[in-house]
Amino acid sequence: MSRPEFFLCLIGIAAIFFGVMAGLPALDRHRAKKAGQLLLNRPCPHCGRAFDAGAIRRARREREANVRDRCISIACSGCSRTFQFGEGELRAVPVFELFVGDKKVGLLYEPKREEMFWCSYVVEPTSLEAGEILWDEAVWNEVKFEVKAKDGRPLSTFTGGDFRAFCRKETDRLSFRSLWPIDS
Ligand SMILES: [Zn+2]
């Protein structure tokens, strides 16, 4: 093989490689959409609103190692809660996990943009015992909590003035500073 031939060959291999890499996400989106079609008009287990075409278009294939193959994640257009859908089963997945000390005490669902720097979430305790920790004002006031992404990355944030109502159980929603679903 002559030198120019060799370089042409290299360029060809590179072109095929990048072509395949560029095509993979499109294939993933197509598969996610196909799996999502099974959910069309099925009610959201949380708010009851039917999954619509928009929600299905935004569905993504799950690539996490601990998730079964053929599993997609889909967000309800009604309550914005995220679900994993695989083998006919719908499971709510939290956007973030909340820790106090080393203990996982809360799960964050249903992100809602409030103001420029604030995003609110429904905060649910992981157990009754965890609830007692979550409804203690000191946890929020003194920022004794830590929010973590799904891969365990700690994210720095704090809560707004709404935690008193949360601790009185008047609301299940709390605002977090600069905590966006995209960082999950
Ligand atoms: Zn819903």
pLDDT at position 53: 93
Domain boundary among 51, 70, 93: 93
pLDDT at position 77: 93
pLDDT at position 67: 54
- The CA 160 to ligand 1 mean position distance, Å, reads 25
- Report how many domains make up the chain: 2
145 phi, psi to nearest 5 deg:
-105, 165
- The CA 48 to ligand 1 mean position distance, Å, reads 6
Of 120, 95, 107, 109, the residue nearest 182 (C-alpha): 95
* Co-location of 149 and 165 in the same domain: yes
**Cα–Cα separations (whole angstroms), residue 138 to 122, 133, 135, 166:** 19, 9, 9, 12
pLDDT at position 68: 53
* Co-location of 40 and 56 in the same domain: yes
- Residue ranges with CB less than 5 Å from ion ligand 1: 44, 46-47, 76, 78-79
Q: Are 95 and 111 in contact (CB under 8 A)?
A: yes
pLDDT at position 130: 95
- The CA 43 to ligand 1 mean position distance, Å, reads 8
Tell me the pTM: 0.74
pLDDT at position 170: 96
Boundaries of domain holding 84: 3-93
pLDDT at position 65: 52
* Co-location of 102 and 131 in the same domain: yes
Q: Which residues pair with 145 in a beta bridge?
A: 100
Mean pLDDT per 10-residue run, the chain (184 residues)?
Answer: 82 82 79 86 93 92 64 91 89 94 95 93 95 94 93 93 92 96 87
- The CA 63 to ligand 1 mean position distance, Å, reads 23
pLDDT at position 66: 56
The mean of the pLDDT values for the chain is 89
- The CA 116 to ligand 1 mean position distance, Å, reads 24
- The CA 82 to ligand 1 mean position distance, Å, reads 8
* Co-location of 89 and 159 in the same domain: no
Domain boundary among 93, 112, 137: 93
- The CA 165 to ligand 1 mean position distance, Å, reads 24
